[in-house]
């Protein structure tokens, strides 16, 4: 089986065909099920000594143990690879599992990474703890300053970026930055969680590896923590050979099944997030009590390579608005981290700045104490705006 709703992706010649594996024992079409089964098993048995031997010798590709290869997980990986325009992809147990899995195989003591500033805080902390102890140094640069990146790059093994960044929504010229990294022989990695492959496909812009927190838009229902890395076969194979077996943060079959379900509605959800968030951002921008709105869609045009905007953006309240009262009065927007689900969420910057976590360099995340990050969910623009107006009335004298 190479296509159809069960499969959801067309594998390349050298890709493992997960759907045919699932259907191998129950007829050509897996009972014609419109939804693929959850192959909820840790191990797979062999019918003979010879079959086991040829599998161990690498002459035959088939699942042995679910930390390596699981058919349900493989369906998700193939779907995601296709969406990102990548040759291959690997599912991880979380976005951080994907980030550490994408970075660790490419660095050793004495190496240096160049990263854009205002990274996702836990990626920053991975660099500042485990990588620091491994004697891997990280140079942070303003991703909008190509000259600074060009200057920082000689000798770097890896270039790590996020665009837009997940609090200040700073956008970068991904194509130009990926070209700089390539010229210097550095592997480039981008966190594409904010835009999702619907609105940005960094592989097509020259980036080597794309990582996602699939807990956000790919899952889309706030019911799964997962990650994925997509890229060319030779790089993904490095991860398959080292990160997955030895770091072990493998995506589970049930979580993969939830992600497959999430991906079915990704385009519809993303367009709804985009529409509502952009409208709310524009209305906020028009308010006297708002000093600034950080949303990539508010300028004249989107940065090259970004074809749409998601539901996550920030804005800054002027003095005089009681941020605590505003947050407590909201009813549709819930106080909560993460984003990408159906529900609207709010995070006040002044709370994040007091987070107890090491290293904590909240300033380097670019968080203004009077900033607010909103995730605009799917409840409907007018209902959400009414919620904001009511909360504002309670929070201003
Ligand atoms: C949430 C998030 C991550 C981490 O993903 P988990 O699935 O929570 O491990 C990484 N990058 C960005 C931009 C995120 O928002």
pTM beyond 0.85: the answer is: yes
Q: What local confidence, expressed as pLDDT, does residue 5 receive?
A: 30
DSSP classification of residue 27: T
pLDDT in tens, 221-237: 999 999 999 999 999 99
CA dihedral 68, 70, 101, 374 (to 10 degrees): -160
What SS3 class is residue 165? Answer: coil
Residue 211 Cα to ligand 1 midpoint, Å, equals 9
Q: What local confidence, expressed as pLDDT, does residue 32 receive?
A: 75
Cis peptide before 359 (omega within 30 of 0): yes
Task: Find where tokens 């240096």 sit.
Answer: 112
Q: What local confidence, expressed as pLDDT, does residue 142 receive?
A: 94
Query: What's the CA angle centered on 267, arms 266 and 270, to 5 degrees?
Result: 80
Residues in the chain where the model's pLDDT stays below 50: 1-15, 25
Would you say the CB of residue 95 lies under 6 angstroms from ligand 1?
yes
Of 143, 140, 186, 145, the C-alpha closest to 165 is 143
Q: In degrees rounded to 5, what are phi and psi of residue 52?
A: -65, -45
Q: What share of the chain is helix, strand, coil (3-state, %, to 5)?
A: 40, 15, 45
H helix or E strand, kind and range, residue 14: none
Domains of the chain: 17-263 (3.40.640.10), 266-395 (3.90.1150.10)
Would you say the CB of residue 213 lies under 6 angstroms from ligand 1?
yes
Q: What local confidence, expressed as pLDDT, does residue 19 receive?
A: 60
Atom from ligand 1 closest to the CA of residue 215: 7
Would you say the CB of residue 227 lies under 6 angstroms from ligand 1?
yes
């Amino acid at each position: 089986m190479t296509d159809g709703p069960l499969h959801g992706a067309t594998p390349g010649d050298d890709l493992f065909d997960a759907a045919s594996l699932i259907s191998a024992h129950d007829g050509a079409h897996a009972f014609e099920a419109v939804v693929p089964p959850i192959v909820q098993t840790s191990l797979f048995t062999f019918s003979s000594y010879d079959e086991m031997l040829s599998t161990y010798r690498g002459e035959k590709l088939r699942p042995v143990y679910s930390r390596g290869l699981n058919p349900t997980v493989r369906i998700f990986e193939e779907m995601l690879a296709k969406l990102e325009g990548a040759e291959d992809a690997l599912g991880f147990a979380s976005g951080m599992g994907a980030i550490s899995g994408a970075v660790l195989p490419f660095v050793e003591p004495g190496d240096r990474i160049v990263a854009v500033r205002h990274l996702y805080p836990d990626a920053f902390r991975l660099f500042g703890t485990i990588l620091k102890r491994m004697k891997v140094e990280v140079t942070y640069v303003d991703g909008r300053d190509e000259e600074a990146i060009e200057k920082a790059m000689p000798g770097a093994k890896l270039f790590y970026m996020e665009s837009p960044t997940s609090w200040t929504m700073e956008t970068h010229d991904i194509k130009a930055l990926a070209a700089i990294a390539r010229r210097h022989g550095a592997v480039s990695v981008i966190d594409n969680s904010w835009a999702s492959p619907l609105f940005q496909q960094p592989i097509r812009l020259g980036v080597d590896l794309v990582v996602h927190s699939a807990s956000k838009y790919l899952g889309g229902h706030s019911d799964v923590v997962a990650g994925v890395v997509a890229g060319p076969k030779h790089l993904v194979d490095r991860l398959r050979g080292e990160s997955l077996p030895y770091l072990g943060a493998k995506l589970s079959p049930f979580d993969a099944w939830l992600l497959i379900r999430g991906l079915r509605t990704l385009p519809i959800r993303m367009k709804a997030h985009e529409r509502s968030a952009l409208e709310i951002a524009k209305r906020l921008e028009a308010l006297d009590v708002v000093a600034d709105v950080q949303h990539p869609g508010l300028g004249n045009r989107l940065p090259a390579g970004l074809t749409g905007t998601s539901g996550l953006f920030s804005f800054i309240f002027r003095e005089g608005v009681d941020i605590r009262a505003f947050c407590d009065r909201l009813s549709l927007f819930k106080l909560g981290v993460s984003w990408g689900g159906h529900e609207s969420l709010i995070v006040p910057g002044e709370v994040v700045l007091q987070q107890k976590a090491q290293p904590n360099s909240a300033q380097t995340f670019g968080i203004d104490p009077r900033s607010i990050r909103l995730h605009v969910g799917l409840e409907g623009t007018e209902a959400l705006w009414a919620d904001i107006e009511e909360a504002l009335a309670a929070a201003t004298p």
